[in-house]
Amino acid sequence: METGTGTQSAISGVEVYDDAQSALQTVPKHIQIRNLPAEERKKVREQEAKKEEAKPKAEKPKAQKPAETKESKEQKPAESSKDAKPKTEAKPQPESPKKGKEAEAK
């Protein structure tokens, strides 16, 4: 629902369905639960909690890291100091033009 500041009117969005079954299929489950009366909402949440407890939790298989072989180590060339890229030196920043008495003194 939206209202304009200083006005006496409001704009509202309404969804109308042909029957209850089409509404149940269209409206998300969390919205359906939110629209229930407080007592029924509490019962539904308790039932969902029981279902979650009843489900056995499947353990995730741990991924094993492949063991490094001599061949894979040989394929990776070691960087020597000669192959390494030279470091670039920082360039000095140009001096900004001086203003006022300092510029007149020079």
**What is the predicted pLDDT for the residue at 57?**
66
Taking the model in full, what pTM does it have? 0.40
Residue pLDDT, tens place only, 79-88: 555 555 666 6
Which residues, 6 or more positions from 13, have their beta carbon under 8 angstroms from its beta carbon? 1
Residue pLDDT, tens place only, 30-69: 999 998 999 999 999 999 888 888 776 666 667 666 666 5
**What is the predicted pLDDT for the residue at 40?**
94
Which residue did the predictor score with more confidence, 36 or 78?
36
